[in-house]
Amino acid sequence: MIKRGLFLLFSLVAAVPALAGTAHAASDGASLYNTNCSVCHQAGGAGMPGQFPVLKNRIDKIASSPEGKRYLADVVLNGLHGPIQAGGVTYAGFMPSLKALSDEDIAAVLTYVASLSDAKPAPTIAAEDIKAARAVPKKSSEIQAERSALNAAHPIL
């Protein structure tokens, strides 16, 4: 009986590294997007005219600069409120904060959405980018100003 108990204990201890490895596996951006974003931005980032901006073939362009990556991280972490122009269409601009997601998960979602373009290779967003943005929370007015500055420098929004 003691041998069996020790065997079970050692088996559990041996299994811990394997379980820990799955906890640190790369986040699945497509699955996270479908769970957290597709209700509004639709499957494949198609958007909904007049209600939710198209993400496909836009996010890759925004994410192609460090300022763009920071802006995207700020939007996902803090949300965005107020009218915006995107792709020549005006939107009411209400996006909730997704700061409850981990840095890795947000990076995976943004990298996935950036990959929904014809540009190859698509830009990637690292968890470190999200961590840096999380350290400096922003108000919606600051994100709107960031958006305006980014659009002036790179008219792609």
pLDDT tens per residue, range 100-113: 999 999 999 999 99
Contact, 71 vs 150, CB < 8 A? yes
User: Kind and range of the H or E element at 151?
Assistant: helix 140-153
Q: Which pLDDT value is given to residue 50?
A: 86
Contact, 78 vs 99, CB < 8 A? yes
CATH class for the domain made up of 27-153: mainly alpha
Task: Look up tokens 């269409």; give the residue.
Answer: 89
Q: Which of 17-21, 75-79, 93-97, 137-141 has the highest mean pLDDT?
A: 75-79
Q: Which pLDDT value is given to residue 120?
A: 85
How far is residue 8's CA from residue 17's CA, in Å, rounded to a whole number?
16
Contact, 32 vs 108, CB < 8 A? yes
Model confidence pLDDT, tens digit, residues 59-73: 999 999 999 999 999
| Reported pTM | 0.81
User: Terminus-to-terminus CA distance in the chain, angstroms?
Assistant: 68
Residue 19: pLDDT above 70?
no
Q: Alpha carbon of 52 to those of 73, 86, 118: distances in Å? A: 18, 9, 21
How far is residue 11's CA from residue 90's CA, in Å, rounded to a whole number?
59
